[in-house]
């Protein structure tokens, strides 16, 4: 039987924590919960409070009620003392003193003493019965029983054996039904001599163990000295031990719904090969229902997987189409933005050109008149234009190099005698000349400057020959 002493230190610690957290005083219940959850404290605690809060509370209330009832029982010694005292006092008061009473007094005294002793003994016995701890036949947790069965088996026969289901008979039956597996029930009794031989030679046989694994048979075992295994033996009508029953889903006449049923019974000890042969024959003879259900489940799984794959393929195709559409939309947007950029740049070029022409018209309308030769200090400059024309122009001493650039810029309009237009200076515009002016020898280039007067430039005052060179648009942009 499982006790604290049979558990290792780690499991004892987990058990103590579990009972402290959940206030579970029942050792079997706490141990069963931890066994079911593979000694995972967190999962076991979560399960007990999520699934059984009402049941847990009722058990605690019953325990509290029992404790209260036990404390309310008076002590046997005080009860006996009170009983004797009251008895003598009552009888003494009830009978008046007389001559007859003197004669009968010895007999009465003997009767009173006898009656008091009987009363005292009866009440003392009743008090002992009431104060005795109540012995209940509360069934033990099937998971604990399964754990004890496996622990005891391994203690006697070692770790190598068929894999027993770690749970109750009903749990094993439900799992076999749900998983469409054959279930082998093994019942044992300590009163039968064949039990030890069967466990040692059959259940630990490598051949039998491999066969059970190969057939995927769920094995549940129990000792009939325990309550659950005893009930199972009664249900399966076992008479001789060891007793084995092979159970699986079967259909009956008039009921198309498969139910778990015994298809083979095996009693007494048997050689592993004989047992394997008997189980194989039973599986071949009664396995049609299970095979049909497996095929149906497999077909459903295949159809479900097919639908899942089709759905995944559809979503993948849809995702690809959406991605393709998105990329097409992005390309379309990029192309549209590029086209907008081209149109914008084109408009900017046209606007720049318009502002340039407006600026040249402004210079043409506001160009100072050429001074007369006798007007004072005058610079006489000769220009060789980029197109080969030669032009001589007089400038005032206060004119600047920028004035020379303005003259060259509007010369085509002067040469054509284009009528001047009254225009405003364009806003947000910086004019760039597409030519340079320099002296031929020694070569000296003059930048358009409005701060330096001509009279202050020795190479230009009072006369000079200047060369106008055109500048390429690319070079100007650089």
**CATH code assigned at 415:** 3.10.20.90
Residue 2 confidence (pLDDT) above 50? yes
Give me the chain's average pLDDT, please: 80
Same domain, 222 and 153: yes
Domain annotation covers residue 342? no
Residue 348 lies in a domain: no
Cα–Cα nearest to 136, from 26, 36, 35: 26
Q: Are residues 254 and 377 in the same domain?
A: no
If asked whether residues 177 and 215 sit together in one domain, one would say yes
State the DSSP H helix or E strand holding residue 221, giving kind and residue range, or none if neither.
strand 218-223
The phi, psi pair for 439, rounded to 5°, reads -80, 140
Task: Tell me, yes or no, whether 154 and 267 share the same domain.
Answer: yes
DSSP assignment of 30-46: HHHHHHHTTT-HHHHHH
Name the band, by pLDDT with cuts 50, 70 and 90, for residue 86: very low
Q: Are residues 208 and 123 in the same domain?
A: no
Task: From residue 108, give the alpha-carbon distance in Å to each of 83, 104, 112, 166.
Answer: 18, 6, 6, 71
pLDDT at position 134 over 60: no
Q: What's the pLDDT at 220?
A: 97
One domain for residues 150 and 107: no
- Give yes or no: residues 179 and 276 share one domain: yes
Domain-located, residue 264: yes
Task: Name the residue range of residue 389's domain.
Answer: 366-477
Q: Higher confidence at residue 434 or residue 139? A: 434
Contacting residues for 39 by C-beta, under 8 A, at least 6 apart: 11, 14
- Segment 139-186, tens digit of pLDDT: 788 888 899 999 999 999 999 999 999 999 999 999 999 999 999 999
pLDDT at 93 over 60: no
Q: Which of 108, 131, 154 is the last residue in one of the domains?
A: 131
pLDDT in tens, 184-198: 999 999 888 889 999
Give 62-67 contacts, CB < 8 A, sequence gap 24+.
Answer: 63/25, 66/134
In a domain, 319, yes or no: no
The pLDDT value given to residue 149: 93
Least confident range of 66-70, 272-276, 358-362, 395-399:
66-70
Residue 116's pLDDT is 60
On the CB side of 373, CA atoms within 13 Å amount to 4
pLDDT above 70 for 235: yes
b/e 168-193 (16+ beta carbons within 10 angstroms → b):
bbebbbeebbeebbbbbbbbbbeebe
How would residue 273 be classed by pLDDT, with cut points 50, 70 and 90? very high
Phi, psi values for residue 465, rounded to 5°: -110, 130
- Domain assignment present for residue 237? The answer is yes
For residue 218, what pLDDT band results from cuts at 50, 70 and 90? very high
Q: Which two tokens stand for residue 117?
A: 């002793």
Beta bridge partners of residue 437, listed in sequence order: 446, 468
Contact residues for 26 (Cβ-Cβ < 8 A; gap 6+):
59
3-state secondary structure of 24: coil
pLDDT for 202 equals 94
> What is the number of structural domains in the chain?
3
Within its chain, how far is the Cα of 130 from the centroid? 56
Q: Does 64 lie in the same domain as 170?
A: no
Residues 97, 165, single domain; the answer is: no
Clarify whether residues 380 and 252 are in a common domain: no
Range name among 91-95, 263-267, 318-322, 450-454 with the lowest pLDDT average = 91-95
């Amino acid at each position: 039987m499982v006790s604290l002493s049979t558990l290792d230190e780690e499991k004892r610690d987990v058990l103590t924590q579990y009972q402290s957290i959940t206030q579970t005083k029942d050792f079997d219940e706490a141990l069963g919960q931890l066994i079911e959850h593979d000694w995972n404290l967190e999962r076991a605690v979560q399960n007990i409070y999520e699934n059984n809060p009402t049941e847990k509370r009722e058990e605690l209330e019953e325990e509290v009620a029992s404790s209260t009832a036990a404390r309310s029982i008076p002590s046997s010694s005080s009860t006996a003392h009170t009983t004797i005292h009251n008895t003598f006092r009552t009888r003494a008061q009830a009978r008046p003193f007389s001559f007859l009473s003197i004669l009968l007094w010895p007999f009465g005294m003997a009767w009173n003493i006898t009656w008091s002793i009987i009363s005292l003994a009866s009440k003392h016995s009743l008090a002992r019965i009431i104060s005795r701890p109540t012995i209940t036949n509360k069934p033990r947790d099937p998971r604990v029983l399964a754990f004890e069965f496996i622990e005891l088996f391994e203690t006697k026969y070692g770790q190598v054996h068929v894999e027993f289901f770690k749970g109750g008979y009903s749990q094993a039956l439900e799992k076999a039904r749900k998983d469409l597996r054959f279930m082998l029930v093994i019942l044992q009794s300590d009163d039968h001599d064949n039990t030890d031989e069967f466990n040692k030679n059959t259940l630990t046989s490598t051949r039998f163990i491999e066969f059970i694994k190969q057939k995927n048979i769920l094995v549940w075992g129990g000792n009939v000295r325990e309550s659950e295994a005893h009930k199972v033996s009664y249900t399966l009508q076992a008479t001789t031990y060891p007793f084995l029953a092979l159970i699986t889903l079967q259909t009956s006449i008039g009921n198309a719904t498969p139910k778990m049923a015994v298809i083979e019974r095996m009693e007494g000890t048997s050689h592993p090969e004989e047992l394997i042969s008997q189980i194989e024959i039973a599986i071949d003879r009664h396995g049609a229902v299970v095979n049909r259900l497996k095929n149906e489940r497999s077909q459903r799984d295949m159809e479900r997987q097919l639908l899942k794959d089709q759905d995944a393929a559809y979503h993948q195709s849809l995702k690809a189409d959406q991605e393709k559409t998105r990329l097409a939309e992005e390309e379309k947007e990029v192309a549209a933005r590029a086209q907008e950029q081209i149109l914008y740049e084109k408009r900017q070029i046209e606007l720049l050109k318009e502002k340039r022409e407006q600026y040249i018209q402004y210079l043409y309308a506001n160009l100072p008149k050429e001074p007369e030769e006798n007007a004072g200090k005058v610079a006489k400059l000769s220009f060789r234009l980029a197109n080969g024309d030669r032009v001589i122009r007089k400038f005032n001493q206060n004119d600047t190099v920028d004035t020379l650039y303005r003259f060259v810029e509007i010369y085509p309009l002067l040469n054509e005698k284009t009528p001047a237009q009254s225009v405003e200076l364009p806003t947000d515009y910086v004019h760039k000349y597409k030519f340079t002016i320099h002296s031929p020898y020694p070569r000296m280039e003059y930048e358009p400057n409005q701060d330096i007067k001509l009279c202050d430039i020795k190479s230009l005052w009072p006369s000079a020959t200047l060369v106008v060179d055109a500048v390429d648009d690319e070079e100007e942009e650089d």
